[in-house]
Structure 1
Amino acid sequence: MLTAAVFALAGLLFFTSFNTAKGTNIRTDASLLKLSDLIEERSHKNGKLDESNGSLRDDVESLAERDNGGTKADDARLKALEKNAGTKKLSGDAVSVTLADAPPNATAKLPGYPEPQPNDLVIHQQDLQAVVNALWQGGAEGIKVMDQRLISTSAVRCVGNTLILQGRVYSPPYKVTAVGDPEKLKTALAASPEIQNYMLYVNAYGLGWKVDDDGAMTLPGYSGTVDLHYAKPVE
């Protein structure tokens, strides 16, 4: 009777597995890979659309400048607004900060620190935001994260250890570049309490941190949409 019960249970498991799989391999990660590929494809498509949008915007502005009916003072004010809005290229001395995950097999490198948990070994949203905030605090004239210029409505958001910025997806290492006075920018980075906390994890667990003087550099202008997107109540 015990043997019959074991075979009956095994049969039930086989039937459940067959019914769930429906002819597919349920142990494969293919569905996850397909989702990852889709995200990568959409991110690439969004990048192409941003480039196209930027090119069209340049054409529109070029046509508008031919005869806009404005005075030289109006034109000067418009150029100042464009610079502050981040929609035009910006040149000057630059400082870049690179953040990277720690090795997956990292252990505590300093005495008195506990062995790291998985969350201790990856870059988080607050780490990137701390760098951006410190650079603005240091008088940055413009900032780009990876290959995208930040504007007033840009949101640095992370899901897990993946950065989602203005419709595009990035994986670490993350690079933040700012144009401004290099010494003031680096002083602001060193003075940030949030970055000081991050440096504890750099020293204890090996998270990546690198600050470079890039010299003269040109940041791209923001080329995406400037329309505000916001939630609406469901009727």
Structure 2
Amino acid sequence: MKARDATVRRRSAWRFGVPVVCAAAGLLLGATHGVSGGDEIRRSDAPRLVDLVRETQRSVDRLTAERDALAPQIENHHGGSPTAAAALAAITRRADALAPEAALTPLRGPGLVVTLNDAQRDAQGRFPRDASPDDLVVHQQDITAVLNALWSAGAEGIQMQDQRLIATSAPRCVGNTLLLNGRTYSPPYVITAIGDAAAMQRALAAAPLVTLYKQYAVRFGLGYTEETRDVELVGYTAPVRMRFAEPIGPLGY
């Protein structure tokens, strides 16, 4: 009799427990549907920023190749009349005269080379114990601080990695890489400037954010070097487009 009563109690527990579990599962499914809007919460095909950057870089490389292939056709076109040819020649002479000021031609002279690098592991393969991931990498603000200090010291021209910098150049950090004019670079980041090396070093020493970076370099092993020597900068080769520039006067002066 007792065994029978125990069996009845167990059946009663299951009879009430199963609906409760089903109701809870229904609530969870309803909440999940409401949050996801009917889509998967974790989609494996969701685009990532790094993938978008790589796709954009492939597009830039493809368009650059197309531009280079069309360049000879433009150079070989001399216009349909003597007047057009003369106008084209005048424009070409004017462009050639302005090219050095626009950083479109190579430049050689005495200068300064600044190199920034992510922290490296010690002999035991370890980083400092109290370092966070952000303490161990070069950030966009570090690069910008160095560039601003060099420009403020009167640098005649600056190159980063293998690209010449102009007024519209904007290095951007994407993860642990650098994006510059559609191309990505990994550290070390090499910044080469032509000008008064002593003045540029003084400007770097006086820049607060560069000083902060040097402190982190000592504390967490980030890389930072300055080297004075004769350098050569490449000319800027990408198309120059000013989207928001307007002439000041009737003649553009």
TM-score, scaled relative to structure 2: 0.63
Q: Residue 101 and residue 58 in structure 1: after superposition, are their counterparts in 2 closer, same or farther (change >3 A)?
A: farther
1:41-79 per-residue CA deviation (whole Å, 9 max, x = no partner) reads: 653552464476478668857977x744649xx94x654
Distance in 2, matches of 1:226 and 1:191, equals 34
Q: Which residue of 1 aligns with 2:201?
A: 186
Distance in 2, matches of 1:194 and 1:62, equals 49
Alignment partner of 1:92 is 2:109: yes
Does the CA-based 8 Å contact 1:86-1:222 persist in structure 2? no
Q: Which residue of 2 aligns with 1:43?
A: 57
Alignment partner of 1:177 is 2:192: yes
- 3-state SS of paired residue (2:228): strand
Alignment partner of 1:165 is 2:180: yes
Q: Which residue of 2 aligns with 1:133?
A: 148
| Counterparts of residues 12-161 of structure 1 (less than 5 Å) | 39-40=53-54, 42-43=56-57, 46-47=60-61, 49-50=63-64, 53=67, 67=86, 68=88, 70=90, 75=93, 78-79=95-96, 81-103=98-120, 105-107=126-128, 115-161=130-176
Which residue type is aligned with residue 106 of structure 1?
Answer: F
Does the CA-based 8 Å contact 2:106-2:232 persist in structure 1? no
- 3-state SS of paired residue (1:196): helix
Alignment partner of 1:200 is 2:215: yes
Does the CA-based 8 Å contact 1:99-1:174 persist in structure 2? yes
Query: Which consecutive unaligned segments of at least 5 residues does structure 1 have?
Result: 1-28, 109-114, 230-235
RMSD: 4.2
Distance in 1, matches of 2:76 and 2:110, equals 28
Runs of 4+ more than 3 Å apart: 29-33, 35-42, 47-64, 66-71, 77-81
- 3-state SS of paired residue (1:211): strand
Shift of 1:94: 2.9
How many matched pairs?
Answer: 217
Which residue type is aligned with residue 227 of structure 2?
Answer: D
TM-score, scaled relative to structure 1: 0.67
Which residue type is aligned with residue 95 of structure 1?
Answer: L
Q: Residue 88 and residue 31 in structure 1: after superposition, are their counterparts in 2 closer, same or farther (change >3 A)?
A: same
Rg comparison, structure with higher value: 2
Larger mean CA deviation between 115-124 and 219-228 belongs to: 219-228
Which residue type is aligned with residue 57 of structure 2?
Answer: S
- 3-state SS of paired residue (1:127): helix
Does the CA-based 8 Å contact 1:151-1:222 persist in structure 2? no
Distance in 2, matches of 1:119 and 1:69, equals 53
